[in-house]
Amino acid sequence: MIDLHFAPTPNGWKISIMLEECELPYTVVPVNITRGDQFRPEFRALNPNGRIPVIVDRDPPGGGEPVTIFESGAILLYLAEKTGSFFPRDMRGRTRVQQWLMWQMSALGPMLGQNGHFSLYAPSKIPYAVERYSNEARRLYGVLNDRLGESTCVAGNGYSVADIACFPWVMTHKAQGVTLDDFPHVRRWFAELRARPKLQKGLAVGRRGIRKTLDAQARSNLFGTRPAGGDAPGGALQSQQLDH
């Protein structure tokens, strides 16, 4: 059994999707990031960076003590290795998946998070920041569109953890001010993945817990006046209406 410490954000959904796709049994442990659960000592003991998601695998490969993993990319790779799923065995295939997964972790997630924050949540609109991150978001959609014009999936012609990592962020495209009509290869890929039953089941996790508005304390917990860091700011998109 796997404990999934989770909040309904793109980074959280990466892992619920992966668990469903791998048909692994898991229990959801809700982490209310608007209330500040991520700062509690018991959560920081699991992830000193104070960010969801985290998993605790109580039945790790080889047996022994439970294994705790934080950072969504690391969790995806761990689950892929544990199950032998959605990660190629050949060196070239593995390398392609790894590089596109790192692209999502270092570029697509963080930049879309910043775009969402400065466009929707910043207490005052900073034109330079809005323009800078909006332009970068569209540039990254262009990179993804070009890639998907060459292959069926993000890292080649097989569905992989790279697709699972990218999909929940692309799911925010309407809130990001992006129309997929401008990126037809992304639109095709998005529709194909969205039709996967297990992906849909993973996306259903926690959706009733999404807050539509943020009060001052919730904003403080999410946006930086309390000590935190880490994974791309998935919480910055928590209260948006997500197209799925």
**Cα 223–228–229 angle (5° rounding)?**
95
Residue carrying the six token digits 């194909």: 192
User: Is residue 136 pLDDT above 90, yes or no?
Assistant: yes
Q: How confident is the model over 213-238, as pLDDT tens digits?
A: 656 666 566 666 555 444 434 444 43
Q: What confidence tens digit (pLDDT) does each residue in 66-77 have? A: 999 999 999 999
Q: Yes or no: say if 116 and 172 are a contact pair by the CB < 8 Å rule.
A: yes
Looking at residue 121, its pLDDT comes to 86
pTM reported for the whole predicted model: 0.88
Examine the pLDDT at 159 and tell me if it is beyond 60: yes
**Distance separating alpha carbons of residues 131 and 179, to the nearest angstrom:** 17
* CATH annotation of 91-201: 1.20.1050.10
Q: At what angle do helices 109-116 and 161-170 cross, to 10 degrees?
A: 10
CA triple 15-179-143, angle to 5 deg: 65
Question: How much is the pLDDT for 220?
Answer: 61
pLDDT of residue 213: 61
Cα separation, 135 vs 132, in Å, equals 5
Beta strands in the chain (DSSP E): 2-6, 26-30, 54-57, 67-70
Per-residue pLDDT band at 123 (split at 50, 70, 90): confident
pLDDT at 242 over 90: no
Tokens of 83: 């199950």
Report pLDDT digits (tens) over 12-33. Answer: 999 999 999 999 999 999 999 9
- What percentage of the chain exceeds 90 in pLDDT? 82
Report pLDDT digits (tens) over 76-98.
Answer: 999 999 999 999 999 999 999 99
